């Protein structure tokens, strides 16, 4: 097994770009355009992609919905809502590479914040244990049956939430 501390965005992008069999994402906040593009590309190439996110995030909810709506308009992605606030940050690729830690896949986390993630590769026992938690969370969630369920967001709030993430460094 290999475990390494990593720079979040490059490792996430690399893992998503190398995905061939499956991608599972469990994330509090979404919205980074590069990560969104990598998710879309994987799904459009036929890699099954599953995403679990909060039905009602404590902040940034409109941006989460807009991001998932845009991804799902471009490629087939299996989305599940959690009625609990998802605060975990996990990407599991091909049941072989797990990336988790502090980074969301938001503009703020990918471009502004000092995040710390861990990547674990080729540790079958860990992956089995992780997948048991994933399946439990998915089974407690509600599958999104139609892209229309993701389309109910405020464009103004989503844009404001994205701008806030991009401009956070100017406010301090």
Question: Which residues, 6+ apart, have CB-to-CB distance to 151 below 8 Å?
Answer: 65, 69
What's this model's pTM, rounded to 2 decimal places?
0.87
CB 71 within 8 A of CB 132: no
pLDDT level of residue 16 (50, 70, 90 thresholds): very high
Q: Looking at residue 123, what is its pLDDT?
A: 95
**CB neighbour class for 157 (10 Å; exposed up to 12, middle 13-18, buried from 19):** middle
Q: Looking at residue 171, what is its pLDDT?
A: 47
CB 100 within 8 A of CB 5: no
Q: Looking at residue 122, what is its pLDDT?
A: 92
> Hey, what are 45's tokens?
């190439």
pLDDT in tens, 21-60: 999 999 988 889 999 999 999 999 999 999 999 888 766 6
Which 3 state secondary structure label does DSSP give 78?
strand
Higher pLDDT, residue 169 or 116:
116
How far apart are alpha carbons 63 and 106 in whole angstroms?
Answer: 9
What are the angstrom distances between the C-alpha of 76 and each of 40, 71, 87, 89, 96? 8, 8, 24, 22, 22
């Amino acid at each position: 097994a290999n475990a390494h501390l990593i720079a979040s965005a490059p490792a996430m992008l690399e893992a998503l770009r190398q995905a061939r069999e499956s991608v599972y994402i469990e994330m509090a906040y979404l919205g980074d355009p590069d990560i969104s593009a990598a998710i879309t590309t994987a799904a459009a190439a036929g890699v099954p992609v599953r995403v679990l996110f909060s039905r009602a995030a404590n902040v940034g909810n409109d941006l989460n919905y807009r991001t998932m709506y845009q991804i799902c308009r471009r490629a087939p992605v299996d989305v599940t809502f959690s009625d609990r606030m998802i605060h975990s940050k996990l990407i599991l690729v091909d049941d072989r590479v797990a990336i988790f830690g502090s980074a969301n896949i938001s503009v703020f986390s990918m471009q502004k914040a000092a995040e710390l993630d861990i990547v674990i590769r080729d540790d079958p026992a860990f992956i089995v244990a992780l997948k048991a938690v994933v399946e439990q969370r998915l089974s407690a969630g509600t599958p999104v049956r139609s892209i229309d369920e993701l389309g109910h967001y405020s464009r103004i709030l989503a844009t404001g939430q994205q701008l806030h993430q991009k401009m956070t460094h100017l406010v301090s």
